Amino acid sequence: MTLSSRLFARIGHLSKAQTHDVLVERKLRTKMPDGVELLSDHYYARDGGRKQPIVLIRSPYGRNSVWGITSRLIAERGYQVLIQSVRGTFGSGGEFNPEINEASDGIATMGWLKEQDWFSGQVAMTGPSYLGYVQWAIAANSPAEYLKAIVPHITASQFRGVTYPGEALALDTTLSWAYLVSRQEKIGRIHGLISSFRVQSVLKPAFSHVPLNEADELVLGEKNQIFQETITNEPDGTKFWNDRDHSKKVQYVRTPTHLIGGWYDIFLPYQLEDYKTLKASSKITPYLTIGPWSHESPGGLFVGIKESLDWFDYLLKQKDSVIRKEPVRVYLMGKNEWTNFPDWPPPQMKPVSWYLQENRTLDQKPPVNDSSFDSYDYDPRDPTPSIGGSVIGRNAGPRDNRKVESRADVLCYSTSDFEQDYAIIGPLSVDLYMHSNLENTDFFARLCDVSPKGKSINISDGVLRLRPNDFEKHRESDGIAHIKFDIWPTGNCFLKGHRMRIQVSSGSHPRFARNLGSGEPIATAKNFQTAHQIVYHDTAHPSCVIVPFMAL
């Protein structure tokens, strides 16, 4: 074991039993059907490891650093590991066109594996984010006789949802990823870590720039293909997104699958859709683990490695003792404890509506006033800022929201102090009656846990972008629009003495690209219009947040 693998094993609570000395063959070449060659590193145990089960990892982020350590950790515990750089990255030939070649290249790599003299007849796959997406790209079309297990971690079978949640561009995530991918091979490992840590500061001028199709050039000195294609294919770039979408194939996956997600992860709602599809279509029960992580949380990475090894030991080495009996395991924030369930959403879930009231409170009783509303102005020149939540980078996760809640463009509604613990686990939604002077506008909702000292911590949120046809579809006879949208699933216990709070606003910038209100295409929009927003909460318009209550 190397020093780095020993450190990772200790942090990740990995077993030291039966670890192996590992050899590495570097820069193996795999020819794709079009002649492009991809590079891989092959890790295996010195003592007869060339016939052990194979774990395939396909990555656009290189084969060293954390992914090299991960490969070594897995190999030290009795597996061969082939880590491959996807097309156009870190020495592999061709051009990196995100998501577009992963199905054909992945299938070709599986065929190449079968021809090697060290092929064992058993293959598994693991990895987070893009390394998880590539698993979905081939899972339905790989021979079931030797693809025995997959672990897609903080990922989904399609990327459109995470790019345009609620039809609003996830600007922070999109530009940050494009920036980091464009620089990762041009700078050293240490500089890369520093760049990743500072990315939001570096990109701040670009986040505020209009039009958006110039933002990448502002910080990179050139146009970025990833960013430009993303912002010019909103929201109706059907072929662009369909070519990259593997969600329709999930129903045909027969490989045992363990999905690992995080409450603050950018992919969570779409990952849970994959779980739902698997559960409905497969005779093989999928497993699901959700922790208190954001997309880049180290804790999520270490749990992902450990759960992957347990899943592989169970399926490839028949070690029944390492697998839990109940397939769903979630972390209950607030209580800070793990809880197991037979399914997702937990069957004990009971949807409970909390209604917005005239005195800025939340109550389970519907409002009784005949006329009651609150209003605010959203000015895209001074957009409501984002604090924490489901983004990539160091600004993700739970944060104190009191500063943003003090703004005039944020409405807050709170329960009274809970007299006992109040747990919610599952999907959440917001049901609003509203009016706007603009037909191009956004509504953003965020659920917070408020401590007895007043600290307001975000636990769930979501956005909905509205266009003229949306207003026509949702407008009722009195002219008021009735909109419903999902916010992030969560697992949280509001402890006795805490309060639940819902924020309603029209932005969370730069997490979501601000809606300028003009109706122009997002790439070229540059005309600002202020939105006057009204949120109703009376007998005829009972706005509410719907939470999945569970008695524990």
pLDDT, one tens digit per residue, over 97-143 is: 999 999 999 999 999 999 999 999 999 999 999 999 999 999 999 87
Q: Is 362 exposed, middle or buried (0-12, 13-18, 19+ CB in 10 A)?
A: buried
471-497 pLDDT, tens digit per residue, is 888 999 898 999 999 999 999 999 999
248 CB-near residues (< 8 Å, 6+ apart): none
Where is 214: in which H helix or E strand? Answer: none
31-71 pLDDT, tens digit per residue, is 999 999 999 999 999 987 888 999 999 999 999 989 999 99
Q: For the domain with range 3-169+234-341, which CATH number is right: 3.40.50.920, 3.10.520.10, 3.30.420.40, 3.40.50.1820?
A: 3.40.50.1820
Average pLDDT, the chain: 93
Q: Rounded to whole angstroms, how far apart are CA atoms 236 and 136?
A: 23
Look at residues 459, 455, 451 and name the one whose alpha carbon lies nearest to residue 495.
451
481 φ, ψ to 5°? Answer: -90, 140
Q: How far is CA 350 from CA 361, 445, 490, 533, 546, in A?
A: 22, 21, 14, 31, 10
Reduced to 3 states (helix: H, G, I; strand: E, B; else coil), residue 36 is coil
Predicted confidence at residue 8, as pLDDT, reads 66
Q: What average pLDDT does the segment 412-438 reach?
A: 97
SS (H, E, C) 388-412: CECCCCCCCECCECHHHHCCCCCEE
Q: Rounded to whole angstroms, how far apart are CA atoms 165 and 466?
A: 12
Q: Where along the chain do its domains lie?
A: 3-169+234-341, 170-220+228-233, 350-550
State both tokens at 282: 């497969």
Residue type (1 letter), 390? S
Question: With contact defined as beta carbons under 8 Å apart, do 108 and 32 qualify?
Answer: yes
116 CB-near residues (< 8 Å, 6+ apart): none
Has residue 24 got a pLDDT over 80? yes
Q: Are 3-169+234-341 and 350-550 the same fold in CATH?
A: no
266-275 pLDDT, tens digit per residue, is 999 999 999 9
Has residue 165 got a pLDDT over 50? yes
DSSP for 310-357, written as a single string: HHHHHHHS--GGGS-SSSEEEEEBTTTEEEEESSSS-TT-EEEEEEE-
Tell me which architecture the domain covering 350-550 has in CATH.
Sandwich (2.60)
Q: Which residue has the higher pLDDT, 438 or 233?
A: 438
